[in-house]
Chains A and B, each alone.
Chain A
Amino acid sequence: YPLAGAVKKDSNMDLVQQYLEKYYNLANGMKQLVRRKDSITVGKKIKEMQKFLGLEVTGNLDSNTLEVIRKPRCGVPDVGH
């Protein structure tokens, strides 16, 4: 195992996790997976969000994606609940 140093709380990951839960149906139980960043599901969800919002579909948390996530928006989800 890599030294289990304190997992640096990545506020960006928190932000994207809340955004995906709120607007893209990311199930709440995905919390741990989101932290490991290598989760296939989260990458898929990030791509789904980037596609819907007209961003470059990379599956990564690039600056453009983070910028849009921080913008004011409507609280209704983007995909059907």
Chain B
Amino acid sequence: FATFPGLPKWRKTHLTYRIVNYTLDLSRDAVDAAIEKALKVWEEVTPLTFSRIYEGEADIMISFAVREHGDFAPFDGPGATVAHAYAPGPGIYGDVHFDDDEQWTEDTSGTNLFLSAAHELGHSLGLFHSDNPEALMYPVYNPRTDLARFRLSQDDVNGIQSLYGPPPASPDEPMVPTKFIPPAPQMPSLCDPALSFDAVSTLRGEILFFKDSYFWRKTPWNHKPEFHLISTFWPALPSELDAACESYSKDMVFIFKGNKFWATRGNEIQAGYPRGIHTLGFPPTVRKIDAALSDKEKKKTYFFAEDKYWRYDENRQSMEKGFPRLIADDFPGVGPKVDAALQAFGFFYFFSGSSQFQFDPNAKKVTHILRSNNWLKC
């Protein structure tokens, strides 16, 4: 293996990537999946983790282009150069460019996108070309690669681990840390007294607490919550979510960000999503929602946006008349703004900053004020 002259490498282990545009040779889902699979190849052998962003500057910007495309390294039409990438660093560094004059395919009938992406991402992480013909980082594209049994060669693993070391935990170690491991600076800490959540939802008897690119998963059988990257379960979801709620009748969780929402069943995002939130019946003035909770018994879903709320009738599949109403009128003591909301044990739980309001919907009053991270048994 070889590394770039000067040994450029990322000084952080959590990297962002963005798929800037798409080739017409493949469906968007196929491109998304190929990139995710290619990132996972490197994620599995290093401490590196990746999360996808949809706008702005990511560490790794991934794009398709033909001929001259603004980096003084023009592509050359079909064949010959199929892609290139830049060593770790700011701006164009770390980026991946695919030559869209190639025929990008999911199999090896054309140029396999996954295989090329895995190679180019090796460059984005700091690997140069290897002279080992078995290595992924060998410069010549090998159309006979067995995709079903693709594995990094030892040469590739030695190369990337010379830059970043091995993954933090061997597979047989427990997923949930047995002792409190102080998180890396950019990771949220469940014991941070100021911890607030972006979104909270039940899921088949569990409770998910979303924050930034991560979420805690509280399960009935585990005292300590698990901590995961959102992208580990839902690679296509953005980070910094706005709201989430479970639809018990549909066995789905709806995830909201900006003016879009996704439907997930388990960790499968349902076809046809994301959709616009206005398809649920919100007026155009609502640009995003702050929180959502589902009342399992009454089959109603409550949506909170700024100082107002709406109620959605699960049976009629439409927003109820007479809404929006003011949160302060019907949930006195809650607010002013709601970050996340949850129904459990007959109570509504409203998360606002580092505080959590337990609200009795029958007595129509706040019965307890707790810390937001109270559920996580810090």
Contact = CB atoms under 8 A, between A and B. Distances in A.
A23 B128 CA distance: 12
A44 interface: no
Interface of A: 22-23, 51-54, 68, 70-78, 80-81
B14 interface: no
A68 B5 contact: no
B75 interface: yes
A51 B133 CA distance: 11
A66 to B, nearest CB: 13
Contacts, number: 63
Contacts of B5: 80-81
Interface residues of B, number: 25
A52 B75 CA distance: 23
B133 A76 contact: no
14 contacts: A23-B139, A70-B80, A73-B80, A73-B139, A73-B140, A74-B81, A74-B84, A74-B85, A74-B123, A75-B81, A76-B84, A76-B139, A78-B129, A80-B5
A4 B141 CA distance: 41
A74 B141 contact: yes
A72 B129 contact: no
Cβ-closest 10 pairs across A and B: A75-B84, A75-B81, A80-B5, A72-B141, A52-B131, A73-B140, A72-B82, A78-B129, A54-B133, A73-B139
Which of A22, A23, A71 has the most B CB atoms < 10 Å from its CB?
Answer: A71
A76 to B, nearest CB: 5
A78 B81 CA distance: 13
Interface string B75-107: 100011111110000000000000100100000
B80 A74 contact: no
Contacts of A54: 131, 133
Interface string B57-81: 0000000000000000101000111
Contact of A51 (B83, B85, B99, B131): B131
Which of B4, B99, B129 has the most A CB atoms < 10 Å from its CB?
Answer: B129
A21 to B, nearest CB: 12
A71 B141 contact: yes
B111 interface: yes
Given A54-B131, A74-B129, A74-B139, 17 more contacts: A23-B139, A71-B140, A72-B80, A72-B81, A72-B82, A72-B102, A73-B80, A73-B139, A73-B140, A73-B141, A74-B119, A74-B141, A75-B99, A76-B84, A76-B85, A76-B129, A78-B129
Nearest to B99: A75
A76 B123 contact: yes
Given A23-B139, A53-B140, A54-B133, A76 B128 contact: yes
Contacts of A52: 129, 131
A23 to B, nearest CB: 7
Contacts of B79: 70, 72
A75 B76 CA distance: 10
A73 to B, nearest CB: 5
A80 B84 CA distance: 15
A80 B139 contact: no
Which of A75, A77, A80 has the most B CB atoms < 10 Å from its CB?
Answer: A75
B297 to A, nearest CB: 59
Contacts of B131: 51-54, 78
Contacts of B80: 70, 72-73
Nearest to A15: B80
B120 interface: yes
A80 B128 CA distance: 8
A60 B75 CA distance: 27
B135 to A, nearest CB: 11
A51 B102 CA distance: 28
A56 B78 CA distance: 28
Contacts of A77: 129
A73 B139 CA distance: 6
Contacts of A23: 139
A80 B5 CA distance: 6
B262 to A, nearest CB: 34
B280 to A, nearest CB: 46
Interface in B215-258: none
Nearest to A78: B129
Contacts of B102: 72
